[in-house]
Amino acid sequence: MDKGINKQFSYMIAMLIVIGLGMSFKNSTFHIPGNQEDYEPKQPIEFSHQLHAGEMEINCQYCHFGAEDSKHAGIPPAIVCMNCHKFVNNTTNETRLSEQETREPVANLEISRIYASLGIGMDGQKKGNENPTKWVKVHNVPDFVFFSHKPHISANVDCAKCHGDVASMTRVKQVSDLSMGWCLDCHSQDHNQLQQVAGRTAPLLDCASCHY
């Protein structure tokens, strides 16, 4: 091939790549591997949102208190659990069962793990070293993406819009695919309405809003 054709050829390839990228942005399910829809890992303590956020109606932000003001919603430290579990080391069903069998209730194994993570026994006495629970992170966006809860919670986007009905889940599951198309779908949906919110630093479809 002579130089001229070669140059044209590279130009065409470059265009194809650009068009290809453009198409992948439009295709809302395309995303790089690593963030998995339906990911539902087992956790070190069988904590149930269905019980706590559903049946007991504890507010999401009672535990995820970072969501309003920071990038991360955060996972609550064990002392937040202890606000209640200092007094509750058993379920109602287990207590009822032990009453029927006229014996002392036995501490719930999963609840005892909260105590163990703080290095204390069920009697509240110091027993060993603290060993914070290593919760498995369910939702992950790659490092080159900037995501923060704060602007979303400030704009009243409901947790469920992105995380699904967590209050009905016994184990948390990723329901959205967290692809770029998914972010852009919502960012362009109510574009005119979204554009009016005061204090926003960048337009919602700008590459630089989400990429460093």
Q: Could you say which residues in the range 56-75 bind ligand HEC, by CB under 6 A?
A: 58, 60-64, 67, 72-75
Determine if residue 156 is left, alpha or beta; phi over 0 gives left, psi from -120 to 50 gives alpha, anything else beta.
left
Q: Does 131 bind ligand HEC (CB under 6 A)?
A: no
Closest CA to 146 of 69, 65, 206: 206
Residue 19 Cβ vs ligand HEC, minimum distance, rounded to whole Å: 13
Q: Is residue 173 part of the contact set for ligand HEC (CB under 6 A)? A: no
- Distances in whole angstroms, Cα of residue 41 to Cα of each of 49, 53, 124, 164: 14, 19, 30, 16
How many other C-beta atoms can be found within 10 angstroms of the C-beta atom of residue 175? 18
Q: Which of residues 85-124 bind ligand HEC (CB under 6 A)?
A: 85, 88, 91-93, 108, 110-111, 114
Residue nearest to ligand HEC (CB): 31
State the nearest-atom distance from the C-beta of 153 to ligand HEC, in Å.
Answer: 5
Chosen residue from 116, 118, 120, 172 binding ligand HEC by CB under 6 A: 172
For residue 184, count CB atoms less than 10 angstroms from its CB and return exposed for 0-12, middle for 13-18, buried for 19 or more.
middle
CB of 125 to ligand HEC, least distance (A): 20
